Amino acid sequence: MTKSNPGISQPKWAARSITILGTLLTGAVVLAPVVGLNFGQDDAALITQGWDAVLEVIGIGTAIVGRFKASRPVTLLPTLKDVA
């Protein structure tokens, strides 16, 4: 049985971490063209680049905000409280 230490907060599941989610969103935007997810037309290139830039800014912003708001360590597996 583990004792609870009031000075140390309990870890949370990585999927509930704003920092992790922002990083994953940014990575998805960067890797999308690699797997062939783009408009493919010259006229749509500007839209694609603009949309990618917007999503990258949102992803990076989310990661930064999440890092500053973080109050608990992150775990890769959910706890029973996260699942319920």
**Where are any strands of DSSP class E within 7-81?**
12-13, 74-75
pTM here is 0.46
Locate the domains of the chain by residue range: 13-34+41-70
Instruction: Say what the pLDDT of residue 8 is.
Output: 59
* pLDDT 10s digits, 22-75: 888 878 877 877 887 765 566 567 767 777 888 888 888 888 888 888 887 877
Q: What tokens appear for 33 in the block?
A: 């063209």
CA distance 84 to 55: 30
> In this structure, what token pair is assigned to residue 39?
């408009």
